[in-house]
Amino acid sequence: MYERPGGDARCDRESRHVADGLGLSVYRIVQESLTNVLKHAGPRAHTHVTLDWRADTLVVEIVDDGRGAAALVEARPGGQGLTGIEERARLHGGRSITGPRDGGGYRVRAELPA
């Protein structure tokens, strides 16, 4: 479980075993998302990580209430994090949805067949 001041992590429903490759991809999606929070959300941002096991899908969602995309005044070179998240989701037949949240902050959501 990840925890930082002002944030929390939870797993909805009972967890299930997943293949090693999928487990690693979920780990990396969460890792990249939390790295982006640290880089872009600001020092007072609250972060929530949720794993939601559905009938045949694992939904991973990382949301924060920080500055989000508004913090990027100009594009920064070399950033491939969101592309990597999307590629990891597609590798397993899933999809990712990323973007600013209404009212501030940012959301990363990956829906992966499990």
Q: Is the pTM of this model over 0.85?
A: no
Comparing 76 with 62, the larger pLDDT belongs to 62
Residue pLDDT, tens place only, 14-58: 778 889 999 999 999 999 999 999 998 988 899 999 999 888 999
> Exposed, middle or buried: residue 17 (CB in 10 Å: 0-12, 13-18, 19+)?
exposed
Domain borders along the chain are: 8-113
Burial of residue 82 (CB within 10 Å: 0-12, 13-18, 19+) is middle
Closest CA to 104 of 69, 73, 72: 69
> Model confidence over 87-101: pLDDT tens digits?
999 999 999 999 999
CATH H-level superfamily of 8-113: Histidine kinase-like ATPase, C-terminal domain (3.30.565.10)
Q: Are 61 and 47 contacting, i.e. CB atoms less than 8 angstroms apart?
A: no
pLDDT score of 114: 85
Tokens of 114: 């499990």
Alpha helix segments (H runs only) across the chain: 20-40, 81-91
| Mean pLDDT for the chain overall | 84
The pLDDT value recorded for residue 2 is 41
Q: Which two tokens stand for residue 107?
A: 């959301």
